[in-house]
Structure 1
Amino acid sequence: MLKIFSLTAILEGISYLLLFGVGMPLKYLAGMPEPNIYIGYAHGFLFIAYCALAVLFSYEREWGLKRLCILLVAALLPFATFYIDRKYLKPLEA
């Protein structure tokens, strides 16, 4: 489950950056809304998967509510899922 959660965290972070770094400028500056639709669907799926896996992973590891909240808030902030992967998940792989 650790590898799946780690991969989902990285993919969710990438989709977040693509949505706001590529999709939104294309939509509002270039008048091309189509890429934003597909990037938005992918990001939405990955966001929900990340949140669900965060809850399951926290329960499995018996982490407290504080750490769960950190994991969930990270889904809302740019680059934060990369931080979560490095700070909380990578040390568990060793």
Structure 2
Amino acid sequence: MTETTTTASQPTAATTSKHAVWFRGVAIAEAISWTGLLIGMLFKYVVSDNEIGVKIFGPIHGGIFVAYVLTVAVVRKPLRWSWPVTLLALAASIPPLFTWFFEMWAKRTNRLG
């Protein structure tokens, strides 16, 4: 009987899956928080001059944005992302909803393990 071993450069399926699930959750949360902030800004500047939505979603989005950037930094190696893919993931955090688009692309192109 042969024994298989994994090295640090070869992530196990469970590790890759855990990192992929974590990344997907944070990416989608970032997109949702962007949406909430955009709706809050719509009400503040266009509809009613009510800033409660911005006061609520501003800090939420800020925290999730930081979590997304940190998550990209943590999962890039276990998911074996090249530097261009990593930079694309980071750039996706700037325009609204692009983290969700990046997540869909990464899943479709098997970059989520």
TM interval, short-chain normalised: 0.7 to 0.9
Structure 2 partner of 1:26? 43
Letter of the 1:26 counterpart: F
> CA RMSD of the aligned region, Å?
1.6
Segments of 5+ residues of structure 2 without an aligned counterpart are 1-18
How far apart are residue 79 of structure 1 and its match? Answer: 2.5
Q: 2:80 aligns with which of 49, 62, 67?
A: 62
- Large movers: runs of 4+ above 4 Å: none
Letter of the 2:44 counterpart: K
Instruction: Pick 1 or 2: higher relative contact order, CA cutoff 8 A, min separation 6.
Output: 1
Alignment of 1:39-78 (within 5 A): 39-78=57-96
> What TM-score do you get using the length of structure 1 for normalisation?
0.86
Q: Percent identity?
A: 25
Q: 2:101 aligns with which of 83, 88, 93?
A: 83
> What TM-score do you get using the length of structure 2 for normalisation?
0.73
Structure richer in helix, relative to its length: 1
Letter of the 1:10 counterpart: I
Letter of the 1:40 counterpart: G
Structure 1 partner of 2:32? 14
Structure 2 partner of 1:2? 20
Q: How many residues align?
A: 92
Segments of 5+ residues of structure 1 without an aligned counterpart are none
